[in-house]
Homo-oligomer: A and B are copies of this chain.
């Protein structure tokens, strides 16, 4: 069983997401959870409350070899990670198509733009063109701070990098261009609550 993806490329997941460092267990800190965990919890909350239907897409893998042991589940024995051709999350909220990528960094002073692939930038630009909402959720893990950055602004900084400029956004640039979301309990990262501010 082989699955062909449009780009056909094999992909190694980036190694630039360092192992979570030990943290003080202050109230509402992320407590060793990944941003993905936090967003999955948040999306579950939204789904259960009927507020939105937003899911993370599965990790794309190219499956090369599958074994079918008798009396048990099929086992994938050889597969490779592939570069995602879209963003990780999409869904519907208040009748609108919503699409975003989520990235975390341990760096305290800037957000590295190499975290965002070129085809993801093209994908989000397409989404905006078709009337959807596209944005980036950034977690500065060491600072326990979360930002929702509209795609249109990300795109400007990404183009600056692509034309030879700075390879990151400074924290001050992120603060200036984003809406900050304070982490809570239920939901964990209430990013939908700030989207109205981005839609102005």
Q: Give complex CA distance A17, B76 in Å.
A: 19
Asked whether B63 lies within 8 Å of A74 as measured between CB atoms, the reply is no
Which residues of chain B have C-beta atoms less than 8 A from A6's C-beta?
Answer: 40, 44
Nearest opposing residue in chain B for A77, CB measure? B77
Which residues of chain B have C-beta atoms less than 8 A from A74's C-beta?
Answer: 12-13, 80-81
Tell whether A55 is near chain B: CB-to-CB under 8 Å: yes
Tell whether A130 pairs with B93 under 8 Å between CB atoms, given A44-B6, A59-B63, A85-B55.
yes
Q: How far is the CB of A42 from chain B (nearest CB, A)?
A: 13
Q: Give complex CA distance A88, B191 in Å.
A: 25
Nearest opposing residue in chain B for A123, CB measure? B53
Contact with B along A6-20 (1 / 0, CB 8 A): 100011110000000
Asked whether A80 lies within 8 Å of B76 as measured between CB atoms, the reply is yes
Tell whether A57 pairs with B57 under 8 Å between CB atoms, given A79-B76, A132-B92.
yes
Which residues of chain B have C-beta atoms less than 8 A from A5's C-beta?
Answer: 58
Q: Give complex CA distance A119, B82 in Å.
A: 27
Most buried by B among A75, A86, A123: A75
Q: Give complex CA distance A32, B85 in Å.
A: 26
Nearest opposing residue in chain B for A90, CB measure? B90
Question: A53-B123, A58-B60, A97-B97 known; 9 other A-B pairs, CB under 8 Å?
Answer: A6-B40, A10-B73, A12-B73, A53-B132, A74-B81, A76-B76, A76-B78, A77-B78, A96-B97
10 residue pairs of the A-B complex, CB under 8 angstroms, read: A6-B44, A12-B73, A53-B126, A57-B57, A58-B82, A61-B79, A74-B80, A75-B79, A90-B90, A92-B99
